[in-house]
Structure 1
C-alpha cells in the first residue's frame, strides 16, 4: 500500500508487526517468515461520536439485539474454531484477508492508509482475524473492524474501554519489546484467561508459522487490553 505508516514493519523485522506500515511491500516481495500484525478497530461506543461505518452497523443491529447474541463465550468459541487455519506461502490466502478485502471497511482504511484492496490479500492479518470473529459473531460494533492494530487500540482507549487487567474475551495488544506505548503495538489477539502467574492464554491469528493458534504469553509483552461491551 502507498502510505508508509500502513506497512511500518517488514515480516523479517517483527514476528507479528502492525499491518499499518510495511507489510504489503514485504508480502508482495514473497516474504513469509515472520508476520507483521495489525489492526484498528472502529466500533462505535456510547458517549463518543461514532464513525460512519459504526453508525450503519448500529442501525442494522440495535444494541439490545447485539448484546443478546454477542457474548464472551460466543466470541471465544468462534475464535477457537478457527485454530489451525493457515496462510499460504505468500503470507495470504486466508478467509480473513479475503473477507476484509471485500468489506466496506477496507475502502475506509484504504482512504486513510493508501494502497489497493488487493494489498490486503497478502498483508499481515492478526487484526483481520479479530475483526472477522467480531463480525461473524455479531460483535462487530463492540470489537470493531480494521487492519491496523495501533488504531484499533486507540479506538478502545479513546472510548474509555482500555485497561491493563486481562479478562476473558478482551482484545489484547502486544509489543514484543515490552513497550507500553500504543504506537509500538505489533500484534493483537483475544484473551481466553488470566493464568495468574504472569501469563495469559490467548487465541491469535497470524502467529507462529502464520496460522490461528492458542498461545500462552507473558503479560510483560502486553501493552494493554480493549474491553468489548459484551452481552450477558
Structure 2
C-alpha cells in the first residue's frame, strides 16, 4: 500500500452525504482518549466529538515521555503489512472502540471499513494509546489529525523528538498532508530521523528532508 491516506467515502458510499466529512479528534489522558478520523476529502466543516473510555487503553500507563514513544516505535521497525495491505495496526484499530465510533460517525456499518487501508496514522495512534501519551490524538486520517493539533495550539515548525511529523509530498500545507510519522532526531542539517508506518508496506526508520514537512504536532509529554 502507498503512504497516501485513504478515501473512506468509497467504502461507505451513500451513507455519507456528498462533501460531508466527520472528524473525531481528541487527546490521550489519564482518564480518557479521543479519536479522530474522516473521509479523504477537503471538508469545509469538521465535527468534533467527546472522549471515549479509558478502558480502550489496554493497560497503558497515564502519561509518557517522548523517549517512551520512540522506544516503543523502535520495537515495531520491520513490522510488515500482509499481502492484502492489512497490518497489526489496522487490526488494532478495527477491534478498538475508536474504530467502531469513527465508523459509525461516518455512516459505515462497522469498523471493518479500516481494514486493508493506509495505516501510517493508525500506527501513530497505536503508539500514543499503548504508551498512555496525553495529547497524541487517535486518528486514522492525517489531515484531520494535523488540523486537530493546529486547533489545540500544539502545531509548529520545530522537529522535536517525539513530535508527530506531517508530510505533504506535493506541498499545500495541512490540506496537502498525506503521510505521518514520529520524529526521532533533528539532524540540524535540513533533515530529520523518523520512524514511520506504512512506508514501503512496513514500519521503517527514515531520514527525511524537512522541505517535505507541513508541520509538527506536539503531544503533551511528561
Same fold, TM-score > 0.5, yes or no: yes
Q: Does residue 43 in structure 1 map to residue 27 in structure 2?
A: yes
1:83 to 77, 80, 87: 77
How far apart, in 1, do the equivalents of 2:65 and 2:7 lie?
Answer: 29
1:215 to 200, 203, 206: 206
Q: CA deviation at 1:175?
A: 0.8
**SS across alignment from 1:66:** coil
Q: CA deviation at 1:41?
A: 5.1
Partners of 1:96 and 1:129 within 8 A in 2: yes
**SS across alignment from 2:215:** strand
**SS across alignment from 2:91:** helix
Measured on the aligned residues, the alpha-carbon RMSD in Å equals 2.5
Query: What pairs up with 1:192-211 in 2 under 5 angstroms?
Result: 192-208=184-200, 210-211=201-202
Higher helix share: 1
**SS across alignment from 2:138:** coil
How far apart, in 1, do the equivalents of 2:170 and 2:10 lie?
Answer: 19
- Corresponding pairs, count: 189
Q: CA deviation at 1:179?
A: 2.4
1:160 to 150, 153, 162: 153
Q: Which runs of 5+ in 2 are unaligned?
A: 13-22, 30-47
Query: What pairs up with 1:9-28 in 2 under 5 angstroms?
Result: 15-21=2-8
Q: Does residue 179 in structure 1 map to residue 172 in structure 2?
A: yes
**SS across alignment from 1:143:** coil
Partner of 2:142: 149
Q: CA deviation at 1:74?
A: 0.7
2:105 to 112, 120, 128: 112
- TM-score, length of structure 2 as denominator length: 0.77
**SS across alignment from 1:142:** coil
Partner of 1:32: none
Q: Which runs of 5+ in 1 are unaligned?
A: 1-10, 26-38
**SS across alignment from 1:52:** coil
How far apart, in 2, do the equivalents of 1:42 and 1:84 lie?
Answer: 29
- TM-score, length of structure 1 as denominator length: 0.74
Deviates more, 1:117-126 or 1:71-80: 117-126
Give a deviation string over 1:44-68, Cα, whole Å, max 9, x none. Answer: 69xxxx84225x449x9xxxx733x
Cα 1:173–1:217 change in 2 (3 A) is same
